[in-house]
Amino acid sequence: MFFSVEDNALIAQEGNERIRIEGWGECALRVRATLNASFSCAEKGLLSRPKSHAEVKRVENGAIIQNGSLCCIVHEHGWMEFYDGDTLLLKEYYRDFSGANGHSPSMKLRAREYKPHGSDYSITLRFEALEEKLFGMGQYQQPLLNLKGCVLELAQRNSQISVPFLLSSRGYGFLLNHAGVGEAAFGANFTQWRELCSDEIDYWIVSGTPKDILERYTAVTGRAPQFPENMLGLWQSKLRYRTQEEVLSVAREYHRRGLPLDVIVIDFFHWVRQGDWAFDPDYFPDPEAMTKELHALGTRCMVSVWPTVDRKSVNFLPMKEKGLLVRTERGSIQCFDFQGDTVIYDATSPAARDYLWGQIEKNYYQKGIDSFWLDEAEPEYCAYDFEHFRYEAGPVVKTGNLYPRAHAEGFYRKMKEAGQKDVVNLTRSAWVGSAKCGAVVWSGDILSNFETLRDQLAGGLNIGLAGIPWWTTDTGGFFGDVTAPHFNELLIRWFQFSVFSPVLRLHGDRGPHDIPSFTSLDFGGGFSPTGRDNELWSYGEETYAILKKFLFLRLSMKEYLKEVFAEASEKGYPVMRTLFFEFPADSRAWEVADEYMLGSRLLVAPVLYEGMLRRTVYLPEGEWRKFPGGEEIYRGGEYEVDAPLDEIPVFERIK
């Protein structure tokens, strides 16, 4: 292998493969490898490059590049190892004669494998399976916090959010800087990353404690802005408020009951057709008067915006003629078929983002709507046949994971340009860098049961470790029947969990669905059905009393929450944190998967099983007391604590 130095980067070349390794932030290295003549300039996850002081030196049988405590050894046969001091962090998996690496060479298997895929390649990247626990990677609908042993699709789906950054208990973070569809397999025999269509290998590795890793990772991918205080309380939503009067009547009732309401959300099909991006005037005759009254009540109004464009929409033909829609590789250009024949706007196109904002500004923003619900933001397709669709940025199989960030960024930039300082939008998907776009990510359309609630805890903690600190769920689940046994118990336990989550948001499609539509027409704001009531008082007086109690507990925490959100903005820390994030030296903290920290001081032990009235809580070393208002001191250890229906075990760290 031939080695050279270029602009403080280590260049290694053997045959047609060219490798470039360079410092990229504190104690971090970016590694690229390609069979092409040059590296790609495509926009991906690394949005900035802080200063670094990497040093390169030639050694016997290879070369070394070091940046802070992190170093990479490139052996003369091409395989790489990464160290923090004397600690081995990561090692490529080679089983061939050119770099036998102490193992049988007969398999002829190399760490970096390129197979033709059109003019690009299908790429496989392999590392040795060292003893470690792995976290992050976004949000997947499964209850495992430690992802070692998991196989994860690198693609966006409704309720699945792929953010290809992991944090290892060995003391490193790893970002696969590739926006296309693929797979990550964290096996017991080796770790394997697959990119279905790419022109190069591109990854970034960083060393440090969990806090160091998140701070250094978000320094190169982006951090959330400051979160506004007037959105730290309750967000009220349901499927769906069908009229202006329904929206106002709910807000008035909250005000009458003395319940502060920070946000009320107007869900889908308040429009005439998908892609009109405007209120149906028959049901929302005066949006400006509506938002004015809501603001007077202290409530912000959020409106759902879908990326889908019905062929009968007023915007379909202009967007089609201008090339602003997602393309299909064969057959019809249909993308989605939910209550209409629709195509999706291309968020990777700057012109498409400008066109969409023009409609949003005219029909919503100028009428007082200052936050948006970016639903369907994966985007959702009739079938997730990723090779069938193409964006301006390239084939979806190569660039598809860029979509949710581009969509959120389009809104964020336009709202900032309009002078708004507190931009917060809700979105159903995200990718590397979405945090800097003012995006609150929610966990998608999920079932109403305790099993799903357990999935949300793992998902919320792992997406925080992937650099997305603003996260929420449909409290109570989305698909739920209010007449089902134990629904109220589930709602209460979920609401308690949400009070100690980044965003407290009540939403769901509440069945049974026996409320008639306003019209027999198959379009307009009156045709789509609605679910049952979903306000705090909708589930009986006993449930209302508990929900009300926890709402005011949330409101009493605002000063503390402001501190926690400031850490997310300034350092990239999650709002919800695994125990090991705050206690990395505690080996037990790396094992606990049913508790978490809200910020640095509150340890939350949610009730995640039906009928559970008592649970075990592990407290790391220190002094703790029950929150709120506890006086007894608890020291590190394991405790059995009561958890009646109107309580959630929470402990405050005092030392």
Strand 650-653 versus strand 614-626 pairing type:
antiparallel
CA torsion 6→12→18→19, rounded to 10°? -80
Identify the CA nearest to 369 among candidates 426, 438, 288, 297: 288
Helix (H, G, I), strand (E, B) or coil at 547: helix
Residue of 17, 43, 113, 445 marked active site: 445
Question: What's the DSSP call for residue 339?
Answer: T
* Residue-by-residue DSSP string for 248-294: HHHHHHHHHTT----EEEE-S--SSSTT--S--TTT-S-HHHHHHHH
Residue 208 main-chain phi, psi, to 5 deg = 140, -175
For 191, residues 6+ apart whose C-beta sits below 8 A from its C-beta are 93, 126, 127, 128, 129, 184, 185
At 203, is the secondary structure helix, strand, or coil? strand
445 a catalytic residue: yes
Count the alpha carbons within 13 Å of 560 in the hemisphere toward its beta carbon: 19
Task: Name which of 555, 561, 547 is nearest 496 in CA terms.
Answer: 547
For residue 292 the two structure tokens come to 């004015």
Sign (positive/negative) of CA torsion 451, 454, 459, 460? positive
In angstroms, the CA 234 to CA 412 distance is 22
Find, among 374, 41, 42, 416, the residue nearest to 226 by Cα.
416
451 is catalytic: no
Angle at 372 between CA 277 and CA 305, to 5 degrees: 30
Catalytic one among 199, 200, 370, 378?
A: 378
Strand partners, 511: 481
Q: Count CB-CB contacts under 10 A for residue 19.
A: 21
Burial class (CB in 10 A: 0-12, 13-18, 19+), 480: buried
Instruction: Output the six-digit token pair for 594.
Output: 């049913």
d(CA 25, CA 19) in angstroms, rounded, equals: 19
* Annotated catalytic residue, options 128, 199, 346, 375: 375
Structure tokens at 127: 């590392």
Distance CA 400, CA 385 (A): 11
Q: What distances in angstroms separate CA 388 from CA 160, 184, 391, 400, 512, one per listed residue?
A: 20, 22, 11, 11, 37
Q: Which residue blocks in 187-256 are alpha helix, DSSP H?
A: 210-221, 244-256
Calculate the alpha carbon distances from 209 to 83, 84, 206, 531, 596 in Å: 14, 11, 10, 46, 18
Residues 360, 367: Cα–Cα separation, whole Å: 10
Task: Name the residue with tokens 């190069």.
Answer: 200
Is 200 a known active-site residue? Answer: no
Q: Report the largest interatomic distance among the alpha carbons of the chain, rounded to a whole angstrom.
A: 79
Query: Catalytic amino acids?
Result: 375, 378, 445
